Amino acid sequence: MTRKAYPSDVNDVEWGIIQPLLPASQPIGRPREVDFREIINGIFYVMHEGCTWRALPHDLPPWQTVYNYFRHWQRLGVWQKIHRQLRHQVRESMGKKQEPTAAIIDSQSVKTAEKKRRYTVMTVENK
């Protein structure tokens, strides 16, 4: 990396977890010109800073490129795969099974005040 690191950048351990879950390059078509790690860093920057895509710093890939990969991976389910992998690792590190064996469903009822309305009915008769 030839730029100064941002707090949201992935470190080597995190990249080692994420990289295998990203789509592989296709043997057909144009060769990939972007570094996926920098794309991830750009996405994480936007999420960490809460800024718009257009506010992405100029030393990261162009905002349009970062946003297009974000949306493409969203459609492919890549973010769900990453989330599932991280959840499994966290659960295993806590000595639990990868998948939860119980669930809790909670609900809350909120009463609302009903407003009484007065309706005026007008009838027209033809004579």
Task: For residue 7, tell me if it sits in a domain.
Answer: no
- 78: which residues sit within 8 A by CB, 6+ positions away? 21, 22, 23
Distance CA 106, CA 86 (A): 25
Domain coverage including residue 52: 12-22+31-93
pLDDT score, position 127 = 47
Task: Quote the pTM value.
Answer: 0.74
Comparison of pLDDT for 18 and 121, the residue scoring more: 18
Task: For residue 36, tell me if it sits in a domain.
Answer: yes
Interior/surface letters 95-109, b for 16+ CB within 10 angstroms, e for the rest: eeeeeeeeeeeeeee
Comparison of pLDDT for 49 and 27, the residue scoring more: 49
pLDDT score, position 120 = 58
Domain count, the chain: 1
Task: For residue 3, tell me if it sits in a domain.
Answer: no
Across residues 98-123, what is the average pLDDT? 70
Distance CA 21, CA 99 (A): 19
Task: For residue 52, tell me if it sits in a domain.
Answer: yes
Q: What is the DSSP letter of 9?
A: S
pLDDT score, position 124 = 55
Distances from the Cα of 98 to the Cα of 18, 19, 120, angstroms:
18, 21, 63
Task: For residue 58, tell me if it sits in a domain.
Answer: yes
Contact assessment for residue 42 and residue 55, using Cβ atoms and an 8 Å cutoff: no
pLDDT score, position 123 = 56
Task: For residue 47, tell me if it sits in a domain.
Answer: yes
User: pLDDT of 80-110, one tens digit each?
Assistant: 999 999 999 999 999 988 888 887 887 776 6
Tokens of 15: 């990249």
> CA angle 76-82-86, nearest 5°?
160
Task: For residue 67, tell me if it sits in a domain.
Answer: yes
pLDDT over 90 percentage in the chain: 65
pLDDT score, position 125 = 56
Distance CA 66, CA 71 (A): 9
pLDDT over 90 at 65, yes or no: yes
